[in-house]
């Protein structure tokens, strides 16, 4: 998820609902908690293993 200029990986359980037409994601986290979340580094976190 991209937010506040960085990408963070949040647990799926934090999603409360997804808005329809505007595709807004509502979370059970405050902005401060999301800002403080560890940044996602795609090369490290999403690599595939053989």
pLDDT at 49 over 70: no
How far does CA 30 lie from the centroid of its chain? Answer: 12
Give CA separation, 4 vs 8, 31, 48, in Å: 10, 9, 27
Radius of gyration of the chain (CA): 13
Residue 4's pLDDT is 58
Please say whether the beta carbons of 8 and 40 come within 8 A.
yes
pLDDT in tens, 6-37: 888 888 999 999 988 888 889 999 989 988 88
């Amino acid at each position: 998820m991209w937010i506040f200029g960085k990408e963070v990986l949040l647990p799926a359980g934090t999603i409360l609902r997804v808005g329809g037409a505007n595709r807004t994601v509502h979370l059970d986290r405050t902005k401060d908690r999301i800002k403080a979340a560890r940044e996602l580094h795609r090369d490290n976190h999403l690599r595939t293993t053989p």
